[in-house]
Structure 1
């Protein structure tokens, strides 16, 4: 870093400082000036993202906007949500910080866009009651929707959609705020590398029932909560689509419960869930799938299970306690090697 002097002009009688000395004026002129913005990522209880329609552009936006001179970014985030949605709140937890270069598409040349640092804050999960409390202003914001994460690229500017998906993955991963450049993580996690949430999640909205599947219901699907010794569970992610799902249960796994499948013309049925403790895994049988270890909460957040997801998650933790396994600490899901794994 260049060295500064406490004088605007060096003493004419003194020798000029050596090296990289600069006057304060020259040093200030050498620093890059960037815009600063703040947005808030809010989801509903189904994991869909709140996006706004505005009266000055066709694509959707997160709540947020410019940080005023002398304003802290977190204060700007709270102010923007209050102005745009009529909802008071504080958003101290950051999900991502994104650097936008000066040649970012979408800015008219006459704006003189110099680049921007944009903060993404965690607005949390809003209940139906909190959503009902939204009050839109008379102008600018014309409506809100909750969008499936995979639909964001079709609804938003491409860079905005990348940023939101990166921030959402950072929230699920739980490893702290992501540093982004043009919406892309500089240090991607397994969720980023596999681009989870880029395809629509398969809805499993059936009610949760503990115990065995009744004889009258055909089993349409079998999957298992397979616990590693640290309390995390095995999760499969399709490399081609980023879709995440639980693996099939091994022989001897205990039945945990089932989800009812609505009658789609085939008579309905059940999605069976089993539970087991695993001490080892054989080599991956299908290279099309990555194997990850994730917390049960992360599995739920990557799924579309509806209100019954809470009941299933509670049953999973009761089973974990029965297996005398610890509750896993949320850390970024770890991708396992394709070879055999033993704990």
Structure 2
């Protein structure tokens, strides 16, 4: 499955936002900020939205945010998160129905028991140098990297 063209992204976001408004109250998601020993950060490329993003997703009912990070990293990149995670921040995502919040956790200790295999949701999962992200990196993901590097003041907005 090929990614959604960038020209369709605003429409996709509006539909997603409408569905969330009708079906849910406040939504809460997580992202894993996974770093490696070479000074890289893990980014994924989805089949349904353009660009590179920090891996993550929704926190399921009955699940802690830390459990959601571990689950999403395993599902999206084949990464097994180890040790404690450090909360980097909680961000308000206005673009998603005006009621979405995203917690970002730094995951410095991890292992990858087997190589990543592309699937219907995630086409690629790769580490990129923190100082040399792909041009197609999403705005929110790029902001988190800049904050991590001390190049931008921390924000409360995604």
| 1:119 matched to 2:109 | no
Residue pair 1:98, 1:180 contacting (<8 A) in 2 also: no
Deviation at 1:132, TM superposition (A): 7.0
Query: Which consecutive residues of structure 2, in runs of 5 or more, have no partner in the other structure?
Result: 1-24
Match of 1:21 in 2: none
- Corresponding residue to 2:140 among 155, 159, 181: 159
So what's the TM-score if we normalise by structure 1?
0.34
Match of 1:62 in 2: 54
Residue pair 2:83, 2:109 contacting (<8 A) in 1 also: no
Secondary structure of 2:133's aligned partner: helix
Deviation at 1:125, TM superposition (A): 5.6
CA distance in 2, matches of 1:92, 1:180: 23
Larger radius of gyration: 1
Residue pair 1:96, 1:180 contacting (<8 A) in 2 also: no
> Deviations 1:261-313 (Å, cap 9, x if unpaired)?
xxxxxxxxxxxxxxxxxxxxxxxxxxxxxxxxxxxxxxxxxxxxxxxxxxxxx
Two-structure CA RMSD over aligned residues (Å): 2.7
> Deviations 1:139-190 (Å, cap 9, x if unpaired)?
2111122212233372322122102332x237xxxxxxx963115xxxxxxx
Deviation at 1:78, TM superposition (A): 0.6
Residue pair 1:52, 1:62 contacting (<8 A) in 2 also: yes
Aligned length: 132
1:122-271 correspondence runs (5 A): 122-124=106-108, 130-131=111-112, 133-136=114-117, 138-152=119-133, 154-166=135-147, 168-169=148-149, 180-183=155-158
Secondary structure of 1:45's aligned partner: coil
Deviation at 1:136, TM superposition (A): 2.7
Match of 1:236 in 2: none
